[in-house]
């Protein structure tokens, strides 16, 4: 046991002083939060910019249907405006032109963002031609203009012909007020944007960091073992300790390093977030179960990565091989939208019952909703079985693959080793 302890201590110390570990510990959460903030600020800024700087659009109305005086009424900037435009607040104006050529000349000069042409038969055909300067395929410059023109058209066509209230409802069919009904039957209005985003993002960030912890720690195990094989220390180690001792020591040491990471994240991010910002809507049960899946997931991938680390000749080669595990386990990540919307679908449940995808799927489901006890029990059982097989396989490979240098083993050879040792 003292040997296991010595190995665990060394692995822990070597890992927590790695640059990569320290970066993940401090840098990753900062980067994620910073990135989210920057992204939201940036998108708001660009939106505002693109709208504020928008040039007016020209309209050539040969059908004579538009009443430009109604523009003030449809403009969101008008303070007495009873008919706010749907969508973001915009300042784009529409300018009437009689002559298409003059309008196009102004468009070329850059004074106009677009020119709309309503032919005389507009009422019958509904056709509107839009002229816009060449701006590339991502240009959305005519969008606000179009929205404006549509609103003005609706206003012009209905005003005076229908009751004022009906006109108002045509222009703005409804203002939605969202109420949340909790499972306990409590009804409350939706919170502000920060809370709404946080309720989704908080658990998601936690899910993401926990997943990262699993793969970082088991990744270090892979790297460590592959390096020991590459620089041949493994032969000395195995002449002193049994494969099981070596594997246990490593799993303990790196597991402790991973656990430190998780605790750090929980204490520094999740707790403040739930206390101060009330972002965290997860129950203590969900959090505890999540931590259990982190541990189980770590043990499973540690076993798999240890075995994989023994197969390659260099750590790069082993890392390439390990992609099989990481890619499979990341399948739930690709289905994240579907899984979060329907955390109890057959897809979510079957992914929970397959050992490789179980940890990430269960973490994701737990970050979204409570999970039925049956699912927890079955996935835990499946994971424990997986861990048993992975660890057993890895310690068998220590007896065979760890001393094989030279060419990369073929699949048949690996199976033989697993059976043989």
Give residues in contact with other proteins (CB under 8 A).
2-3, 6-7, 10, 14, 228, 231-242, 399-400, 403, 405, 421
Cβ nearer to other proteins, comparing 36 with 236: 236
CB of 305 to other proteins, least distance (A): 19
Cβ nearer to other proteins, comparing 209 with 234: 234
CB of 10 to other proteins, least distance (A): 6
CB of 261 to other proteins, least distance (A): 22
Cβ nearer to other proteins, comparing 5 with 68: 5
| Contacts of 407 by beta carbon, 8 Å cutoff, 6+ apart | 313
Phi-psi category of 110—alpha, beta or left, where left has phi over 0 and alpha has psi -120 to 50? left
Cβ nearer to other proteins, comparing 199 with 399: 399
CA 56, 57, 58, 59 torsion: positive or negative? negative
Cβ nearer to other proteins, comparing 106 with 413: 413
Helices (H) and strands (E) in the chain, counts: 20, 6
Single out the residue of 304, 289, 301 nearest to residue 363, CA to CA: 289
Distance CA 269, CA 280 (A): 10
Distance CA 10, CA 8 (A): 6
Cβ nearer to other proteins, comparing 135 with 232: 232
Cβ nearer to other proteins, comparing 61 with 228: 228
CB of 233 to other proteins, least distance (A): 4
- Rounded alpha-carbon distances, angstroms, from residue 71 to 55, 104, 112: 16, 22, 17
Cβ nearer to other proteins, comparing 165 with 420: 420
Distance CA 308, CA 388 (A): 16
Cβ nearer to other proteins, comparing 5 with 200: 5
Distance CA 194, CA 154 (A): 35
CB of 302 to other proteins, least distance (A): 20
Q: Which helix (H) or strand (E) holds 398?
A: helix 373-400
Beta strands in 145-199 (DSSP E): 179-181, 187-189
Tokens encoding 2: 């003292």
CB of 384 to other proteins, least distance (A): 28
CB of 256 to other proteins, least distance (A): 17
Q: Which helix (H) or strand (E) holds 128?
A: strand 128-132
CB of 244 to other proteins, least distance (A): 11
Cβ nearer to other proteins, comparing 15 with 274: 15
Cβ nearer to other proteins, comparing 219 with 343: 219
CB of 394 to other proteins, least distance (A): 16
- Number of neighbours of residue 160 by Cβ within 10 angstroms: 10
Please spell the DSSP secondary structure of 249-316, one letter per residue.
Answer: HHHHHHHHHHHHHHHHHIIIIIHHHHHHS------HHHHHHHHHHHHHHHHHHHHHHHHHHHHSSSHH
Q: Is 392 helix (H, G, I), strand (E, B) or coil?
A: helix
Single out the residue of 305, 301, 361, 312 nearest to residue 332, CA to CA: 361
CB of 47 to other proteins, least distance (A): 50
Q: Which helix (H) or strand (E) holds 21?
A: helix 19-22
CB of 232 to other proteins, least distance (A): 3
């Amino acid at each position: 046991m003292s040997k296991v302890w010595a190995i665990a201590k060394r692995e822990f110390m070597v890992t927590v002083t790695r640059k990569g570990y320290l970066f993940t510990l401090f840098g990753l959460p900062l980067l994620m939060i910073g990135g989210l903030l920057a992204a939201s600020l940036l998108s708001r800024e660009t939106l505002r910019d693109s709208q504020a700087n928008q040039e007016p659009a020209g309209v050539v109305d040969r059908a004579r249907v538009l009443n430009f005086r109604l523009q003030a009424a449809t403009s969101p900037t008008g303070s007495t405006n009873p008919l706010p435009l749907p969508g973001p607040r915009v300042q784009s104006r529409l300018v009437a032109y009689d002559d298409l050529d003059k309008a196009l000349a102004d468009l070329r000069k850059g004074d106009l963002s677009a020119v709309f042409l309503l032919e005389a038969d507009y009422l019958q055909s509904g056709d509107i031609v839009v002229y816009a300067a060449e701006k590339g395929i991502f240009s959305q410059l005519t969008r606000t203009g179009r929205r404006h023109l549509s609103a003005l058209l609706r206003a012009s066509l209905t005003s005076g012909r229908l009751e004022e209230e009906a006109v108002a409802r045509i222009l703005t069919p409804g203002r939605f007020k969202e109420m949340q009904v909790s499972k306990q039957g409590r009804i409350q209005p939706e919170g502000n944007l920060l809370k709404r985003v946080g309720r989704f993002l908080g658990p998601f960030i936690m899910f993401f960091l926990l997943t990262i912890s699993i793969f970082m720690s088991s990744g270090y195990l892979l790297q460590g073992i592959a390096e020991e094989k590459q620089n041949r220390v493994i032969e000395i180690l195995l002449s002193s300790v049994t494969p099981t001792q070596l594997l246990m020591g490593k799993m303990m040491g790196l597991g402790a390093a991973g656990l430190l990471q998780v605790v750090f994240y929980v204490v520094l991010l999740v707790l403040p977030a739930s206390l101060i910002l009330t972002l965290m809507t997860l129950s203590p049960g969900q959090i505890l179960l999540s931590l259990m899946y982190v541990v189980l997931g770590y043990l499973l991938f540690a076993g798999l990565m240890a075995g994989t680390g023994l197969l390659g000749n260099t750590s790069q080669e082993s890392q390439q091989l390990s992609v099989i595990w990481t890619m499979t386990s990341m399948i739930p990540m690709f289905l994240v939208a579907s899984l979060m919307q329907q955390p109890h679908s057959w897809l979510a449940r079957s992914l929970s019952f397959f050992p490789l995808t179980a940890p990430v799927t269960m973490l994701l489901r737990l970050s979204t909703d409570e999970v039925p006890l049956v699912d927890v029990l079955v996935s835990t059982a499946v994971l424990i079985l997986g861990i048993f097989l992975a660890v057993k396989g890895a310690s068998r490979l220590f007896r065979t693959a760890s001393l094989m240098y030279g060419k990369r083993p073929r699949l048949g050879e690996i199976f033989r080793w697993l059976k043989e040792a």
